[in-house]
Structure formats: C-alpha cells, structure tokens
C-alpha cells in the first residue's frame, strides 16, 4: 500500500511538472508584431483645431428643461414654439462658435487610451446639432432661405468634421448622424423650391464632402491603439477599470491563457480586415472574419483550455459590430449621393422647366458622372415616373423603388425608416401633407 501511495504521489508530481512544462512551452509569446500600418499620426494639438471651438460651444450651450422638445420640433411634433424660439435665441453664442469651428480643416479630439474612457462632450454636441436643425427649420418657415442655407451648411460641415477625424468608433457614428441630420434639413429646404443660388451653394457643400471611409479607417486605427492599451493593462494586473466588461477577471492571468503579443496580432488582423472592408461596396465586403477566432464547429469548452484562450475571448468581446458600422458608412454615402442628385435635379428643373428624364441628362453640366450605389456598385437608380431616386440597401436586391417593409421590420412601429424598406427611397418632391406646425413660424411665438 505504501509503495502504491508513493507511486501515485510520484505520478501526480510528474503530471504536475508535465502540465506546467507544456503550459510553459505553449504559453510562449511571439515577438511584438509590426503594427506600423495601424499607427495614427497626430501632430496637431486638439486645441488648435475645430475641437477648441466646439468645446467652447459646449460651455455656452443653453438647453431647456424639457430635453425632448427640440427633437420633437424637428420631427414635426406639436410643441410650445415659445420654448423653441427661446432655445434658438439663447444659443446665439453657441452657434457662432460652431460657425467658427466648421471653417477649420480638422477636428482632432484628445486621444482615447482605454475602453473605459468617458467622453463627456458627445452629449452636448448632439444637443447642438438639434439646435442647428431647429434653427434651419424656423428660418425655412420664415422664408429666409439664405440664412437657412447658411445654417444647414454649418450643420453638414459640423457632422462631417467630427466623422472624418474620428478618434474612435462612437465619435464616427455620432458624426455620421449629424451629417445625416444636416442632409435631411437640406432636403426640406430643396422641397420648398428655394432660389437657384442657394441650391448651388448646397450642391457645392455636398460635393465637397469626402468619402465616409476616410474617417472610419482613422477610427479603426485609433480603436486598435485602445485595444493595445487594454491588453497591456490586463497583462499588468490593472483590471479594476474593466470590472463592467470583465467582472470575473483575476489580477494575474497565466501567460498560457493570455499572450499579449499574440493577442495584439489577433486584434491587428481584425482591424486590418475592417480597414480593407471600409473602402469596398457593401456587396463585396467580408463580414464574417470573426469566425476566424472561433471557427464553426469548435467546442467552446475545449477552446477555453487552448493557448491564449483569454486573448481570443478579449478580441471576440471587444471588437465592434462590423456589420452595423460598415452599413452606417454605406448609408451615409447613399444619403450624400441621393441629396446631391436631388439638389441638382432641382437646379436642372429651374434651367429647363422640368426634372431630367434620366440621371445621364445631368452629366456633365450638373454632375461629373452618374454615381454608383454604395451597396451593390451599380448606377444609382432613378424612377422619373415615381419621382424618386433610390439605393437597393443591404440586401442588394433591386425591388424597383419598393417602399414595402422588409419582413424583419414589419412589426416595427414609429416613424418610417427608409432603411427598413425593400429599397432605400428618396423622394425628389415632397409628397407628404404638412404637419400641424409645419407652417407655424417660431418668430410669431415670441410676439
């Protein structure tokens, strides 16, 4: 019995030594990967860019106690117009600072170094974008098309600056939403059959917008740096800051389960794929390479005992939802293309008495070439008989300008969203009836 116990103890010790040896061997990390292609050069101080003006605008911002009233006004809901007039009047300084900011070439924000960082300025920027939209609407209703166009151009530039110099994904998406809001206000201005010179100014502004892919690529590179910093923090035991994301992470993780350089290489590969997809049409994108981390059919339990399993889990949890982000990029591209076409169709109508019979009729006097749909890469669609231009959307199926809801959105209520329909349709002329307050002047509410 004694010999048996001794033998068992020896086998146990040998087993432990063998396990430790195997974990040590397979836990060896690789040299630091070359990620120079993911570096973001930031030689400009944020205080020397539009960021300084936008932050000063935040400090001067007046916001009403009813936080939804400005948004409701923009969406044609009945509101107290005296409050809207007050909001616009009390934000004169705020909007003057935004006007100064949008004349800058860039909007570089302070570097985000960790996933737990708090970005305090996004909320006020969202409120400012709504004040701008409310001012555009009130100026349009008053018939002040020059002033309304000035404000609309400011809003579009505001959003474009934020997204094209995005330092992280959320900032990019916020910039996209501001630009989209500006384009929506431009659409309402155009529907009013405003003067040709204002149409031309809008057209030039929209034409000057760069590709949304530029800002997205920059945001992906900045996010990779954040991922690097997070890996180093966890490796060095600074896990308390990530309790909300990883509530059960121990301070010390064996090298077998977390190999920093190998994990950084995984993240680098993912972000390189993100960047590659950013410049493609939606139909050509590869949106499934997260499966490279955990291939289909792989046993999850077994995967957790493999080398660098925690590093793989980090990548799977922390990388952004690629399909949504790339979809937003293509949507903004589509919005820009559609608005540019609609503006130039109205200019064409003023010159020729009617809208063009084809998009080719706009070339080359009004546009350089017929633009392509960012989703399927085919020429953007135009239905003169329906008075619409349209994109095929994420399903990349041309349904002839159909506004039927896609099956997964059939039960969704609320304001119609063109991206929930079979095709993303943009009307050339306003066809909806005006809302109860559409013709009410904000200026009248102060009298």
Task: Give me the average pLDDT of each 10-residue run along the chain (447 residues).
Answer: 60 52 59 92 82 96 94 94 96 98 94 77 96 97 96 98 93 96 97 96 96 94 90 79 60 80 90 92 82 56 72 78 85 97 98 96 96 97 97 94 87 79 95 56 57
CA distance 184 to 200: 17
pLDDT at 446: 47
Taking the CA atoms of the chain, what radius of gyration do you get in angstroms? 27
Residues 6+ apart with CB under 8 A from 344: 203, 362, 366, 367
How much is the pLDDT for 302? 63
CB-based burial label for 420 (10 Å; 0-12, 13-18, 19+): middle
Q: Are the C-beta atoms of residues 171 and 158 closer than 8 Å to each other? A: no
Cα–Cα distance list, 326 to 126, 293, 391, 422 (Å): 22, 20, 16, 19
**Helix axes 81-90 and 122-142, enclosed angle (nearest 10):** 110
Q: Read off the pTM.
A: 0.89
DSSP notation for 239-303 = -GGGTTT-TT--S---TTT--HHHHHHHHHHHHHHHHHHHTS-GGG----GGGGTS-TT--HHHH
Which residues fall within 8 angstroms of residue 133, CB to CB, at 6 or more apart? 70, 74, 155, 181, 182, 184, 185
The DSSP element (H or E) to which 338 belongs, if any, is: helix 322-352
Structure token digits, residue 283? 């139909």
Complete edge-to-edge strand list for the sheet that includes strand 381-383: 381-383, 388-391, 424-427
Q: Which tokens is 439 given?
A: 């013709």
Q: What is the pLDDT of residue 22?
A: 45
All structural domains of the chain with their residue ranges: 1-30, 46-217+324-445
Contacts of 394 (CB under 8 A, 6+ apart): 282, 327, 330, 375, 419
Polymer length in residues for the chain: 447
pLDDT at 352: 97
- The per-residue pLDDT for 432 is 59
Handedness of CA 154, 158, 164, 165 (dihedral sign): positive
């Amino acid at each position: 019995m004694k010999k048996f116990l001794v033998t068992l103890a020896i086998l146990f010790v040998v087993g432990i030594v063998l396990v430790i040896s195997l974990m040590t061997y397979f836990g060896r990390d690789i040299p630091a990967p070359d990620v120079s292609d993911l570096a973001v050069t930031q030689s400009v101080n944020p205080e020397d860019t539009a960021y300084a003006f936008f932050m000063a605008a935040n400090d001067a911002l007046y916001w009403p106690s009813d936080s939804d009233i400005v948004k409701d006004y923009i969406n044609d809901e009945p509101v107290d117009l005296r409050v809207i007039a007050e909001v616009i009047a009390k934000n004169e300084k705020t909007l003057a600072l935004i006007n100064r900011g949008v004349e800058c070439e860039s909007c570089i924000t302070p570097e985000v170094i960790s996933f737990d960082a708090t970005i305090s300025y996004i909320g006020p920027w969202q409120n400012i974008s709504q004040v701008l939209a409310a001012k555009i609407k009130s100026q349009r209703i008053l018939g002040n098309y020059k002033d309304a166009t000035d404000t609309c151009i400011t809003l579009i530039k505001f959003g474009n600056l934020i997204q094209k110099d995005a330092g992280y994904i959320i900032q990019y998406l916020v910039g996209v939403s501001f630009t989209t809001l500006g384009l929506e206000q431009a659409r309402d201005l155009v529907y009013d059959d405003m003067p040709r010179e204002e149409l031309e100014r809008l057209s030039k502004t929209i034409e000057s917008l760069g590709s949304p892919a530029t800002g997205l690529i920059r945001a992906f590179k900045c996010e990779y740096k954040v991922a690097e910093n997070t890996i180093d923090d966890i490796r060095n035991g600074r896990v308390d800051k990530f309790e909300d994301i990883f509530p059960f992470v121990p301070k010390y993780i064996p090298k077998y389960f977390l190999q920093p350089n190998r994990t950084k290489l995984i993240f680098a590969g993912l972000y390189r794929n993100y960047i590659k997809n950013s410049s493609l049409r939606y139909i050509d994108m590869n949106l499934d390479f997260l499966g490279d981390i955990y291939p289909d059919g792989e046993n999850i339990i077994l995967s957790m005992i493999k080398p660098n399993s925690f590093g793989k889990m980090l990548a799977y949890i922390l990388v952004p939802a690629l399909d949504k982000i790339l979809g937003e990029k293509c949507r903004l591209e589509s919005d820009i293309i559609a608005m540019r076409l609609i503006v130039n169709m109205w200019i064409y109508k003023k010159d020729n008495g009617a809208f063009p019979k084809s998009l080719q009729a706009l070339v080359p006097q009004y546009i350089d070439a017929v633009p392509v749909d960012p989703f399927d890469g085919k020429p953007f669609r135009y239905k003169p008989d329906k008075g619409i231009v349209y994109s095929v959307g994420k399903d990349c199926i041309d349904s002839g300008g159909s506004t039927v809801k896609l099956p997964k959105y059939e039960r969704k209520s609320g304001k119609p969203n063109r991206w929930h329909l079979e095709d993303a349709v943009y009307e050339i002329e306003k066809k909806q009836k005006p809302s109860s307050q559409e013709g009410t002047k904000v200026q009248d509410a102060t009298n």
